């Protein structure tokens, strides 16, 4: 059964210029993605530096993405927070802006129990009538949304999927097995996208797609065709790029890559910083090797 969101999706960066949102660069990035086969735009996630956006900026990035993409691709807006009331407000605003769905990260820092997670996501689902995708990334949040909890949340009609970024293929398999067939499980770990497709994932919310959207879309398409040989080739072609995208904390490497490619500036907000000289040189060499600069 087809899931609501599927295919190659991009975890969009948020470009800045002199401390403010660079709307011209964001539009350029959106065009680049759509022209190269990206099916879903995901603004204001981890890669979009949501943690350091003001509420006004957050709402504007989502509204601009919806408005400028103009139904050429779906928009899955990052609206999660460690405060349930704040997540509800952000999700309500995304709905008003016309987003196709909301991506909701597990609450970070406060480390709720599984019951707390059930109530948190349940409250958002009750408050906002929009399709919602959970986002499990224990390395960032300090908590793991367990398969049994995900299965309970999947019973709600507007909780339609999960971005799986545990790095654990066994857990991902357990989630797929426990949830309805139309519940989407999406790779949130670029290095594991092909293995996750192989076990039944319905797409990937990718950092690497920011710079290689065509190849990421092709990987999805070949996997859907059952062309294992070509999908495996693409997996290994992307291996080095996927690795260097995390040479320092995301999104510093991908933002630097896009700057080197001429899409935007390197500007990133504290407490994140631009790449160390040696890492920028490493990144540049790999981009040259892949004929991206």
- The number of helices, as runs of H, and strands, as runs of E, in the chain is 12, 10
Structural element, H or E, at residue 40: strand 40-42
Active site includes 197? no
**135, 103 in Cβ contact below 8 A?**
yes
Counting other chains too, the contacts that 25-28 makes at CB distance below 8 Å and 24 or more residues apart are 25/263, 25/264, 25/265, 26/61, 26/64, 26/65, 26/68, 27/64, 27/68, 28/263, 28/264
Tokens in use for 16? 């800045």
Q: 74-101 as b/e, with b when 16 or more CB fall inside 10 Å?
A: bbbbbbbbbebeebbbbbbbbbebebbb
Rounded Cα distance, 282 and 84, in Å: 40
Rounded Cα distance, 214 and 206, in Å: 12
**25, 264 in Cβ contact below 8 A?**
yes
Active site includes 186? no
Catalytic residue among 152, 163, 255, 280: 163
> What's phi and psi for 227, nearest 5 deg?
-85, 80
Catalytic residue among 68, 74, 109, 135: 135
Rounded Cα distance, 246 and 205, in Å: 15
- Residues marked active site are found at 135, 163
């Amino acid at each position: 059964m087809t899931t609501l969101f599927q295919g190659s999706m991009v975890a969009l960066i948020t470009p800045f210029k002199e401390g403010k949102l660079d709307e011209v660069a964001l539009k350029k990035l959106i065009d680049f993605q759509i022209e190269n086969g990206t099916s879903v735009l995901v603004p204001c996630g981890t890669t979009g530096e949501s943690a350091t956006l003001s509420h006004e900026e957050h709402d504007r990035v989502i509204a601009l993405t919806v408005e400028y993409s103009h139904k050429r691709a779906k928009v899955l807006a990052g609206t999660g927070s460690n405060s349930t009331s704040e997540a509800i407000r952000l999700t309500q605003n995304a709905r008003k802006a016309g987003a196709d769905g909301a991506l909701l990260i597990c609450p970070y820092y406060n480390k709720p129990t599984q019951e707390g997670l059930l109530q948190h996501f349940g409250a958002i689902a009750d408050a906002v009538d929009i399709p919602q995708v959970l986002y499990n990334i224990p390395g960032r949040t300090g908590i793991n949304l367990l398969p049994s909890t995900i299965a309970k949340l999947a019973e709600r009609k507007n909780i339609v999927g999960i971005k799986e970024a545990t790095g654990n293929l066994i857990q991902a398999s357990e989630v797929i097995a426990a949830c309805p067939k139309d519940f989407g499980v999406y790779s949130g770990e670029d290095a594991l996208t092909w293995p996750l497709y192989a076990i039944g994932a319905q797409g990937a919310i990718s950092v690497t797609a920011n710079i290689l959207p065509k190849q990421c879309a092709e990987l999805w398409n070949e996997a859907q065709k059952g062309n294992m040989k070509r999908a495996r080739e693409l997996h290994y072609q992307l291996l080095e790029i996927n690795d260097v995208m995390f040479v320092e904390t995301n999104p510093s490497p991908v933002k630097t890559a896009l700057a080197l490619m001429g899409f935007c500036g390197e500007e990133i907000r504290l407490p994140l910083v631009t790449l160390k000289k040696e890492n920028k040189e490493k990144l540049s060499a790999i981009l040259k090797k892949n004929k991206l600069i």
